[in-house]
Amino acid sequence: MIRRPLLLASALLAALGLSGCKEEPAAPQAAATPAAESFQWKMVTAWPKNYPGLGTAAERLAERVKTMSNGRLSIKVYAGGELVPPLEVFDAVSRGTAELGHGAAYYWKGKVPAAQFFTAVPFGLSTSEMNAWLSKGGGQALWDEAYAPYGVKPLVVGNTGMQMGGWYNKEINALDDLKGLKIRMPGLGGEVLSRLGATTVNLPGGEVFTALQTNAIDATDWVSPYNDLAFGLHKAAKFYYYPGWQEPQAVLELLINQKALDSLPADLQAILTEAARAASQDMLDDYVYHNALALAELKQQGTLLKRFPDEVLAAMQHESTLVLGELAAQSELNGRIWASMQAFQAQVSQMHQVSEKELYDWR
């Protein structure tokens, strides 16, 4: 009698054990996650290959995008002339020859007159002011509107900061010294000098040194000590003028083919946008640091720094006002852009008058 319950318990445990060993039905397999789509884009630039500050910035942007996207967006960079000429970057992006372009807006003034506002305005906004106008003051929306008919989306991708007045093979002691001068100067600054009697031309950077050295031109602006030293412009002209009245700052732009941009998933669009924002700060830091070193090197090599006479600067400023007013009158859009810039400059100047200007004066 005592053993029967034990036998029954053993049998029950055995049965439970056997039932636990029965094969369970296989769990349904999760659907395979589709591989994320990748994109291979081309970027055409207006700069020589790996040119300091400008060409290298384009390369670093491409590297940054590739890293941030884990390789899903890969960009091959072409120097000016490799795929299209430097001054045809805008057209190449507009027609889809390349998805991206890296250049300066005033290079395309023949196609988009309003573009000139978005590189630099003579005696206009400083670097920090221009960046703030574009990102906070309504400038980006106006820029988008100017380029939309061409299927191009612009973004800030850098700034060289305030530039120099340029390299001259003769001294500018009076306004008459500008008359008959052959000078390379694009954008609104070139129009101002034309009205003061100079003959202006628009040349890509790679042609500037040869033109100056062979006396095809008498003078040129380019950028600032960092880039000017790299081109060896001090070997082709003796006098280095300041201030850079024509470009108190200079925006570099990333041109994006709108259809290509729309084809990207939202995360890659965000990566491209933020990579451009990071590139802007990186370029500005690059120029602030290297300009100081390059200016010291230029002085050591015998470059003569010269300041434009007040008479000449006053005439330049007067003509700049007239040129900008006429550009604004060309179209309703141009008028809105110029009115917006002027209003923003008047607003921020009050703050900078009692802040940055005071600091620079005391330093």
Residue intervals of the chain classified under CATH 3.40.190.10 are 166-248+302-332
DSSP code string of 302-348: T-EEEEPPHHHHHHHHHHHHHHHHHHHHT-HHHHHHHHHHHHHHHHH
What value does the mean pLDDT take over residues 318-341? 98
Model confidence band, residue 70 (pLDDT cutoffs 50, 70, 90): very high
Instruction: Report the mean per-residue pLDDT for the chain.
Output: 91
Q: Is the pLDDT of residue 8 over 70?
A: no
Model confidence band, residue 29 (pLDDT cutoffs 50, 70, 90): low
What is the value of pTM for the model shown? 0.87
How far lies 225's CA from each of 57, 166, 230, 299, in Å? 17, 10, 8, 10
What six digits make up the tokens of 32?
Answer: 């395979």
Please, are residues 93 and 256 in contact by the beta-carbon 8 Å criterion? yes
Q: Is the pLDDT of residue 307 over 90?
A: yes
DSSP code string of 145-192: HHHGGGTEEEEEEEE--S---EEESS---SGGGGTT-EEE--HHHHHH
Q: Is the pLDDT of residue 4 over 60?
A: no
Residue intervals of the chain classified under CATH 3.40.190.170 are 39-160+249-291
Per mean pLDDT, which range of 20-24, 320-324, 330-334 is the poorest?
Answer: 20-24
Residue 35 is predicted with a pLDDT of: 67
Q: Is 222 annotated as a binding residue?
A: yes
Residue 34 is predicted with a pLDDT of: 59
Listed in sequence order, the residues at least 6 apart from 2 whose beta carbon sits closer than 8 Å to its beta carbon are: none
The answer, yes or no, to whether the previous bond of 243 is cis (omega within 30 of 0) is yes
CA atoms within 13 A on the CB side of 250: 26
Per mean pLDDT, which range of 39-43, 48-52, 72-76, 143-147 is the poorest?
Answer: 48-52
Which percentage of the chain shows pLDDT scores above 90?
Answer: 88
Residue 297 is predicted with a pLDDT of: 98
- Residue pLDDT, tens place only, 252-300: 999 999 999 999 999 999 999 999 999 999 999 999 999 999 999 999 9
**Domain 166-248+302-332 = CATH 3.40.190.10:** yes
Q: Is 4 annotated as a binding residue?
A: no
Model confidence band, residue 5 (pLDDT cutoffs 50, 70, 90): very low
Coil, strand or helix: which one is 240?
strand
Residue 268 is predicted with a pLDDT of: 98
According to CATH, the topology of domain 39-160+249-291 is D-Maltodextrin-Binding Protein; domain 2 (3.40.190)
Residue 346 to residue 337: CA distance in whole angstroms: 14
Burial class (CB in 10 A: 0-12, 13-18, 19+), 243: middle
Nearest to 152 by CA among 253, 252, 255: 255
Residue 81 to residue 26: CA distance in whole angstroms: 61
Residue 51 is predicted with a pLDDT of: 92
Note every long-range contact of 345-354, with CB atoms under 8 Å and residues 24 or more positions apart, other chains counting. 345/124, 345/125, 345/129, 348/125, 348/129, 348/132, 352/126, 352/129
Listed in sequence order, the residues at least 6 apart from 281 whose beta carbon sits closer than 8 Å to its beta carbon are: none
Residue 57 to residue 44: CA distance in whole angstroms: 13
Q: Is 221 annotated as a binding residue?
A: yes
* Locus of tokens 């910035």: 57
- Residue pLDDT, tens place only, 111-156: 999 999 999 999 999 999 999 999 999 999 999 999 999 999 999 9
Residue 1 is predicted with a pLDDT of: 41
CA atoms within 13 A on the CB side of 355: 5
Q: Is the pLDDT of residue 186 over 70?
A: yes
